[in-house]
Structure 1
């Protein structure tokens, strides 16, 4: 069982930041583009230097255009080569996407925005409770056989994303595995990641798919796991306490078409796209909050 984990503030180093970004002359014409208010929220978190550590030429593309191009791809689900011509070259955008996914930039941006979103909602910076769940998605032919699997329950051949969220639905941890990995197998690794990255969490809610040894394992880590089972005699969909929060987050993630199916060759790039989908949610929410 192989996982790729992305977690909380301690998961990745903090990149060097600057607010001196190159100006952009590109017109904002797509729904996925950052508004001026959104860019004010995210700009201080975006590094201004070249994505490689070897130096090279000075940047010639505005970081706002790079961010908008990545958001366009995540939101609309197009292939890299189909990025509209008013964005920087797709090779350049992909280079930034790959580098930011591996050097901790996406993780840093996401987690700082989550801190701001929690503060705007009147919550403490560090969450004390979480809800976990998973979602299987079909994999495109670009996903290697070795990193995919078959979810017999959902009849899906692809990958599975396991997530933990706080009580307002903000993403804490995302883990990507083959779809054949069952929730009760993934549960211990997910709880370990939650405890490692969010050390103040002592309570977690989960569905019956996590029943088994997870409760005892989590207790040894100082986390209480409460299984929220279906209601007696339940037929069809019912809103269940606590579980609806993580299910809503999975719905938020699926609003970005790039996440509806897994097109990424590397699991960490799929995790990064999941984070970008939540970055879009949080920047829009924070921009509205700052505007009011």
Structure 2
């Protein structure tokens, strides 16, 4: 069942197009939905994230993070009530709001209509992250989070929100301190074809697909560490 879900996320197929060597697609989807609704997909992801952080010599619980969002086009299956228009990027679809640690590993995710602003989503994302990770004390963000959010986070959550601004003189692409970490995580998502667009009817399903995508990435990373080194010729 796990291999079937990973195949769907990695290759972006329809549930009904599940290859014959996997269980029938209704059973695979029922497994996926049950793990989504009970939080087991997120729990599996969190355990792997803790293992990756330990392997990197870090504490399982982070003390700093990075927050950002990504707008993606929505497929025709996405209902009108759960999609919106991002006027800045001219995208009609949904927006993925991410809170990551300084390694780019996902701490929390929220999928909203693309019309939802970064500051409004952060008022939901940051309290949830602080509740799960008590050591979390500092968050880096871009200019979209400027304003009342910084004061609100400090007063109600005890979080320091540092805004990493782009230089006014910069032209073209520029790697910005800390912000590049979460941008790389968004790039990791595009390796999973199911995340190139938003194909899910429910936002919670989109969040579950992100958990599964990161689960694949981290399990491969951990497996590579356990793989024995090749023998060298004398």
For normalisation by structure 1, the TM-score amounts to 0.76
Give the deviation of 1:255 after TM superposition. 1.0
List alignment gaps of at least 5 residues for structure 2. 229-234
After superposition, residues 224-239 of structure 1 pair within 5 angstroms as 224-239=160-175
Of residues 48, 53, 57, the one that matches 1:113 is 48
Q: What is the rounded CA distance, in whole Å, between the counterparts of 2:132 and 2:38 in structure 1? A: 17
After superposition, residues 231-250 of structure 1 pair within 5 angstroms as 231-250=167-186
- CA displacement, residues 96-146 of structure 1 (integer Å, 9 cap, x when unaligned): 000000111101100000000000011001100000000011111111100
Q: What is the rounded CA distance, in whole Å, between the counterparts of 1:101 and 1:192 in structure 2? A: 21
CA RMSD of aligned residues (A): 0.9
Of residues 228, 237, 251, the one that matches 2:187 is 251
Q: What is the rounded CA distance, in whole Å, between the counterparts of 2:200 and 2:167 in structure 1? A: 37
- Which residue is equivalent to 1:149? 84
- Which residue is equivalent to 2:100? 165
Query: Which consecutive segments of 4 or more residues in structure 1 shift more than 3 A?
Result: none
SS of the equivalent of 1:140 reads: coil
Q: What is the rounded CA distance, in whole Å, between the counterparts of 1:216 and 1:290 in structure 2? A: 45
Q: What is the rounded CA distance, in whole Å, between the counterparts of 1:77 and 1:211 in structure 2? A: 36
Give the deviation of 1:291 after TM superposition. 2.0
Q: What is the rounded CA distance, in whole Å, between the counterparts of 1:245 and 1:252 in structure 2? A: 11
Deviates most, 106-115 or 193-202: 193-202
Q: What is the rounded CA distance, in whole Å, between the counterparts of 1:289 and 1:198 in structure 2? A: 26
Give the deviation of 1:196 after TM superposition. 1.4
Q: What is the rounded CA distance, in whole Å, between the counterparts of 1:188 and 1:215 in structure 2? A: 10
SS of the equivalent of 1:233 reads: coil
- Which residue is equivalent to 1:174? 109
Q: What is the rounded CA distance, in whole Å, between the counterparts of 1:146 and 1:226 in structure 2? A: 33
- CA displacement, residues 174-231 of structure 1 (integer Å, 9 cap, x when unaligned): 0010000111222222221221121110000000011011110110111000000002
After superposition, residues 1-292 of structure 1 pair within 5 angstroms as 66-220=1-155, 221-292=157-228
Q: What is the rounded CA distance, in whole Å, between the counterparts of 2:31 and 2:149 in structure 1? A: 38
SS of the equivalent of 1:196 reads: helix
Structure with a larger share of its residues in helix? 2
Q: What is the rounded CA distance, in whole Å, between the counterparts of 1:262 and 1:206 in structure 2? A: 24
Q: What is the rounded CA distance, in whole Å, between the counterparts of 2:122 and 2:106 in structure 1? A: 16
SS of the equivalent of 2:104 reads: coil
Q: What is the rounded CA distance, in whole Å, between the counterparts of 1:125 and 1:114 in structure 2? A: 8
- CA displacement, residues 23-65 of structure 1 (integer Å, 9 cap, x when unaligned): xxxxxxxxxxxxxxxxxxxxxxxxxxxxxxxxxxxxxxxxxxx
- Which residue is equivalent to 2:232? none
